[in-house]
Structure 1
Amino acid sequence: MNGKEGDIYITKLERDFFGAFKVIKIGKSFFEEIDGDLMMLGVLNYVDKKKPELNDERLNQILCCNRFLCSNQYAIDFYTNNPKYNDLSKFEYLGNRPMTEFETSIDFKLGDGRSGLKGGFPLVGLMGNDYGKTAFFEWRWENEKEEFKKEVEVENEKARIAREEYRKQSMKPKKMLDDNMFWEVIEKIDWTKDDDQERMEPAIDFLAKKKVSEIKQFQESLAYKLYLLDTKEHAQNIGEDSFKDESSNFSVDYFLYVRCCVIANGQEYFESVLKNPKDMPKDKDFEPLLYIAEEAYEKRMNKELEYETGCDYETFSNYKGWKK
């Protein structure tokens, strides 16, 4: 069984420092598909070479982050309260402290964490063993700011170079599904429905009846077609949010979902848009297509699909398409 409200756990940080976090609230999930309740966790303003004691006043303070682009952002997140995914027993239990007036006032609400206490906090996936490391990052910002900034700049540059080299690779798809069969699945999308999930159900059910190998081949075909549409010229023709230049705001996720919309509208439209980028849909997207193979596989096998495609469909992956 996971912890209860007010429970405090000790975390191990870098350089033999210790930190701590607290279970602030536990409540019902916002989503039916999430197995279990949600727990709201807050990283505490404690960083020290010795383990905290339960009466330490620093355990009364939720960490407020101000490093880099953070501006008075509280280190609070939602996690699934299910030991199968997030087992608090892997952390050392310190004890339980009464909730402070401040902690009680925090709304149990989803948000981006950047809009104040009433704006809600993000839902995160699995808790790593290094949970609470944000406290150490804030400590470095206060005590080693210049050194910390230089280290991050170096790491960011390394990551940028690695991404650039990855994009330059000539990506090749693995075995794909027969093209006629691929478009047969796409044709099952029911556009008479208003709800996206209801639209997708016939296609998901149809694909779920295929062989496991064919479900993976469908995912491969989808990734390759999305990759082919990932060009600068296509991105420049999606309406209000079109790509303009390197210095302008451009949503890489939205462009991916627009490309999904192209494929969801069938073979004839896809082939037309591939040749004529100006025919890209304007201000329309269809994200649900991205998950069709995952949902079909899960329906058939009752477990998550673990498969890596040969081509990366994320925006900017088609190096040649963006260098034109």
Structure 2
Amino acid sequence: MANSKHAHVRYNILDNCFRNKAFTFKELLEYVNLKIADIYPGEGISERTLREDIKLFKDPINGFGAPLEEMSRTYKYSDANFSIALKPLLPYEKELIDASQQLLQRFENHPKYNKLAEALIKFQDEEDEEIDKSKILFYDHNEEYKGIKHLKPFYLAIQKKQVLQIKFKGFKDEVPTTFEFHPHILKQYNRRWFVFGYNKTEERWQHSIPLDKRLINFNILKDVEYEESQKDWEAFFRTMVGVRRTSVEVEKVILKFYNGRENYFKTKPFIPDFEEFFEEDKQDQVWFMAIINPELIQQILSYGQDVEVLEPDNLKIKIIEHVIFLKENYVK
């Protein structure tokens, strides 16, 4: 096994190199050390470690079986579609996953580790499926979502307080726009990721960018001072469904459910801070404080005929407008 210190960081860097450009050994060593130093300042690898990594990449039995030319003076995949991310886990990586699961058992009653344990189980289930074609888990997954590749770079940009130049083209935009962006937080909604921050070009705080194909590219701006956010993000999202803050006014929303659907809402509310009524004749109702935005309307409409908006009036009107529009589409 190759040098295990920051091994998987190196593998991802090398995988990206081999997919996108032909590097000489010297260029590869310099580039890998530069990228490692970005994450682990002052650290790097030797020529020997790099040669061991390349050997591991080529090894079809105990490695990744990467299509690297044996006699070439440069290193690049001969198959443009190859990536180690598409390969099964190596034997020692499976051992690490198993060891991690055993370690997590000590914290199984701690809610902080639930998400990680879930991720490890999903990962292991997919690996087991590669072996015997059986499948135990079927989970909600957006297979067409490519924006996940942006998640780590933006996470690191926020962590390192880096200012970015963003090139973005909305679905209805004729030409892309470019702006200076100071990223502050990442939020997931409806199986997609969004980054919130300060759009300095337009002087807009809490500006959101979806991490999908509309984000054409981004670059780190050197020697530009990063502007911190003073926003209480938990409070910001507490009264908001989704990511679009089309209003600043927080209103009391009262919903009445039919056919016992209030029980479904209570097991998975779209606003975390909802309240129930004490009155016996209102056990099928809930209320919460929220801003009225398109995502809230979509969530209410998802209950179809089993929900009624009692308050506020402006939300009732928006729901009625949607119902009328739907009726006009279907009854012609």
TM-score by length of 1: 0.25
Larger strand fraction of residues: 2
RCO (CA 8 Å, sep 6+): is it higher in 1 or 2?
Answer: 1
User: Whose radius of gyration is greater, 1 or 2?
Assistant: 2
